[in-house]
Amino acid sequence: MVLRGDFIFSYWIFVWYLLYISGILPYSPKIAILLAIFINVILFVLMIYYKTRGIYIFNFIFINFFIKILPYYTLIHEKIYIQDFKPLAIIFISYCIWLYMNGSSVIKYQDKIFRTIVYNENKTPLMNLLTKVEYYFSHIKKI
């Protein structure tokens, strides 16, 4: 079963980024993206340590390039202001409440995400989608 996208905080940050660059929200998500990149570096190291399959590592890097690295690059020259922490806190608290209302918690769900990524289970929405696309194109070549 694929994990729910609305339970993955990185997707919340990406939506925040899209709302920010489109002018809908005034607060920069730069600090949130930077923190997410830091966490992903740790996750990447753990993927290497736990010998995650190469295709999953590639997919992980590919996805995070588009939802974190590229957005961060577009914000690289923006300064981080103290008031940028307030919307991050509000969004994170909202995320925690959302998980709680749906019978989960941050620790429980982050553990699920960690396990699916590190142990080759491929259950996050974007990883699952990439696997389906790869499967589709690998079978087209054989026709």
In tens, the pLDDT along 3-47 reads: 788 888 999 999 999 999 999 999 999 999 999 999 999 989 998
Q: Which of 61-65, 69-73, 118-122 is modeled with the greatest confidence?
A: 69-73
Tens digit of each residue's pLDDT (9 = 90 or more) over 74-130? 999 999 988 889 999 999 999 999 999 999 888 887 887 787 777 777 777 787 777
Q: What is the pLDDT of residue 143?
A: 54
- Whole-number pLDDT of residue 141: 59
72: helix, strand or coil = helix
Q: Full-prediction pTM beyond 0.75?
A: yes
Read off the pLDDT band of 142 (50, 70, 90): low
62-70: Cβ within 8 A, 24+ apart: 62/130, 63/126, 63/127, 63/130, 64/10, 64/37, 64/40, 67/10, 67/11, 67/13, 67/14, 67/126, 68/10, 68/13, 68/14, 68/33, 68/36, 68/37, 68/40, 69/37
